[in-house]
Chain A
Amino acid sequence: MRTLIIAAVVALASTAHADPKHQVRYVGIHPIPKSEGGGICYIEGPHVHVYPADKIQYRDHRGESFFVGDPVAYGYTSQDGPRHVYKGHHPIHVDAVVGDGDPQTEWCYIDGPHYHYFAPAAGPEFKVEGDAYFYVGEPPRAYVAGRATYMPINKIYTPMVYERPVIAIDAPPGWINARAEFVATTPGVVVTPGAAVVAPGGAIITPGGAVVTGGVGVSVGVGVHVGGGVVVGAPPPRAVIIREKEHHDNGRHRGWDKHK
């Protein structure tokens, strides 16, 4: 009897330590986990690895994990391929990127300036200002519904130190992150009528509805100052001007203030 019990325990232990690896399907380029060597996987078409994709930076497309994050944060350079600058949240037409006929629109919730290796599909929902894409379309419910799940992607990118794009130009009218109705109202946000609002994560909502998101160290208009690093001048209605490196952050932040 004792032998049987020992055998059962050994069998269970063996099962627990069995190789947990299995194929995970990907499509498109994506970062490689540090545990697997780091860097970028440049396979554009469907492929497999034996490590998982996280649920924040990837979306499922026909059973394949598609990376919706900023590859530059993981070492993707201009020599590796195209880098397209976006500011704020925007849709990603996954089918257009991977080149199949299975329509799927996902949303990027990265605040502020960032890169993707793909350009948006041509159309009126994006405006290009200063070589950056601004989403000015009418977001569907899916965008709003996905914020709670996917906006934590900014907790991944905000502390990362890498070469972020610089956008020193007004956001066009209708830019999604300048529309008060689409500003995430997470618990803890204090809204004072007629005053600028500082949301968790550094998003600044001005009385006029202009929003500066993403990060840390922001000054808005006159007399409001939070940290340092990124300066937002007094915004004209529905416009945002961002200049960088005009404030010191006393070493407290390592986000968007460390790049050119």
Chain B
Amino acid sequence: MKLVLVVALLAAACDKGDKPPSARDNVIAAWKDAGLAPSTFVTAQVQVGSDCATGMVGGLDVLLCEFPNPTAAQAAEEAGRGWIGLTTGSAQSKGPVLVAIADRKKSDPSGKLINQLMKLAPVEQAK
């Protein structure tokens, strides 16, 4: 019994500490580090990719899709523009992450926030 308890505790400790942040997490962290306040990102079922999440940053709709590699993310840019729809927006691959931003509420008429978000998103993902 004691052995089982020790193993369980060790397993829990390993699970908690070893999971590296995902590439998507790194993008969101970069925005937070710059003083921006992204909302919680939730899993999204979209045609852009199979591992996507949506959220908001400063009134902008944001879609973050993670791919196995940067080439796949780049190939998804056109689908990202499809997700943007008929409004101002940008879809750019940043390493293995496709960052798609749509200004559906016209909250960023000059595009300065979109530009800032794209420039902050890390291209090289931390290992």
Contacts and interface: CB of A to CB of B under 8 A. Distances in A.
Interface of A: 19, 21-23, 25, 32, 37, 39-50
B88 interface: yes
B88 A42 contact: no
B81 A43 contact: no
Given A23-B81, A42-B115, A48 B90 contact: yes
A143 to B, nearest CB: 32
Given A25-B81, A37-B109, A42-B112, 7 more contacts: A32-B109, A41-B111, A42-B115, A44-B115, A48-B84, A49-B88, A50-B86
B88 A48 contact: yes
A218 to B, nearest CB: 37
B70 to A, nearest CB: 15
Interface in B64-96: 77, 81, 84, 86-92
Interface residues of B, number: 18
B15 to A, nearest CB: 38
B114 A47 contact: yes
B18 to A, nearest CB: 35
B23 interface: no
Contacts of B112: 42
24 contacts: A21-B86, A22-B86, A23-B84, A23-B86, A25-B81, A37-B109, A39-B109, A40-B110, A41-B88, A43-B114, A43-B115, A43-B118, A45-B118, A46-B77, A47-B88, A47-B111, A47-B114, A48-B81, A48-B84, A48-B89, A48-B90, A48-B91, A50-B86, A50-B87
A21 B107 CA distance: 20
A46 to B, nearest CB: 6
Interface secondary structure of A, over-half rule: loop
Interface of B: 77, 81, 84, 86-92, 109-112, 114-115, 118-119
B87 A45 contact: no
A42 B90 CA distance: 12
Chain A CB within 10 Å, residue with most, of B89, B111, B114, B119: B111
Contact of A46 (B87, B92, B109, B111): B92
Contacts of B110: 32, 39-42
A42 B84 CA distance: 18
Nearest to A27: B90
A49 B111 CA distance: 11
Contacts of A43: 90, 111, 114-115, 118
Given A32-B109, A37-B109, A39-B110, A45 B89 contact: no
Contacts of A46: 77, 90-92
A66 to B, nearest CB: 15
Nearest to A36: B109
A44 B120 CA distance: 13
Contacts of A45: 90, 92, 115, 118
Nearest to B82: A23
Contacts of B77: 46
A50 B104 CA distance: 12
Q: Which 3 residue pairs of A and B lie closest in terms of their CB atoms, listed nearest first? A: A47-B90, A43-B111, A41-B111
Contacts of A23: 81, 84, 86
A41 B106 CA distance: 13
Contacts of B88: 41, 47-50
Chain B CB within 10 Å, residue with most, of A19, A37, A48: A48
Contacts of A42: 110-112, 115
